[in-house]
Amino acid sequence: MATLKVPHPVPSAVEDAETLRKAFQGWGTDEKTVIGVLAHRDAAQRLQIRLAYEELYEENLIKRLESEIHGDFERAVYRWIFDPVERQAILANIAARDGDYRVVIEFSCVNSASELLAVKQAYHARYKHSLEEDIASQTTGDFCKLLVALVGTYRYDGVEINLRLAESEAKILHEAITEKAYNHEEIIRILSTRSKAQLNATFNRYKDDFGISITKDLTSESSDDFVAALRVVIRCIRSPQKYFEKLLRGAIDNHGNKDVITRVLVTRAEKDLAEIKDIYEKRTNASLDEAIRKKTSGDYEKFLLALLGN
């Protein structure tokens, strides 16, 4: 469930564009109003506001925001204002450039096949080349093989599972992990091509047959970046909510890593941030809102809390 709260009735896109324009005028920017509008509109409404603003004032709303607001607040609004597909194309481009394997794995494994495809189409339109070629030319070795395979696949989205295959592929995975052959082609093949339903059956079978979960079995080598990447793949496929909760918790504990906090809140607020919040609060016996409040400040803090439904 989303945490995003949209008022009812919601103002028209033209009214919102006019409200934002007023917030930009005069001495300084009225950030409270900017948050009041943008953090309480869904993706379709934000797009309409951008179009209405451009139509009314012959000015790009995103460019105007860049000159009006600053720092962490600006970065968070800049991520948020796009619709999920366009936002992911932008995040993918930055991640490919920086070799940020975690983000590449997230969007390739959390999205459905058709959502991932939409991101790749948006990538073509925006950057005039493909995501695959950027990742392939900007990463090397085992990471390149894994990431290109994950981004390139068009997984079957159905629920049918083949139990015999789950058994045989759990065995293949276990043998490779036991031999510490983490970069084994079979590991990459299985994780990158099988449907999510099939993979979950394989992971369950792994635990049943070998008495340990596959992620725990991989943890013994936690200093290896590639092994860490495999764990991210498995966790994103098994439960995106648990994955994002753990990521967020780590970011909050780790001096409040703002890039990660922003990414999780902005990308999940319209999807499943309520579940993520719930898991966090059960696990830590603390309020997520309170934790965010402690680690952030100013308009950035207010904006994140608004996304959290405050």
3-state helix/strand/coil string of 10-44: CCCHHHHHHHHHHHHCCCCCCHHHHHHHHCCCCHH
* Cα distance between the two ends of the chain: 15
Span from 22-30, 53-61, 189-197, 286-294 in contact with a copy of itself (CB under 8 A): 189-197
120 binds a copy of itself (CB under 8 A): yes
Give rounded-to-5 percent helix, strand, coil for the chain.
Answer: 75, 0, 25
195 binds a copy of itself (CB under 8 A): yes
Span from 22-30, 80-88, 132-140, 227-235 in contact with a copy of itself (CB under 8 A): 132-140
Of 116, 51, 38, 108, nearest to 80 by C-alpha is 38
**154 or 181: CB nearest a copy of itself:** 154
Residue 284 assigned to a binding site: no
129 binds a copy of itself (CB under 8 A): yes
3-state helix/strand/coil string of 84-107: HHHHHHHHHHHHHHHCCHHHHHHH
Residue 68 assigned to a binding site: yes
The CB-of-182 to a copy of itself minimum distance in angstroms stands at: 18
Whether residue 136 contacts residue 263, with contact meaning beta carbons closer than 8 Å, is answered with no
Among 68, 83, 132, 259, binds a copy of itself (CB under 8 A): 132
Number of residues that bind a copy of itself (CB under 8 A): 31
97 binds a copy of itself (CB under 8 A): no
**Cα–Cα separations (whole angstroms), residue 36 to 30, 31, 39, 40, 258:** 10, 8, 6, 6, 21
149 binds a copy of itself (CB under 8 A): yes
160 binds a copy of itself (CB under 8 A): yes
Residue 309 CB coordination number (10 Å): 17
Q: Look up residue 64 and give its amino acid.
A: R
- The residues binding a copy of itself (CB under 8 A) are 117, 120-121, 124, 128-133, 136-137, 144-145, 148-149, 152-158, 160, 185, 189, 192-195, 198
User: What residues are designated binding site?
Assistant: 24, 26, 28, 68, 252, 256, 296, 301
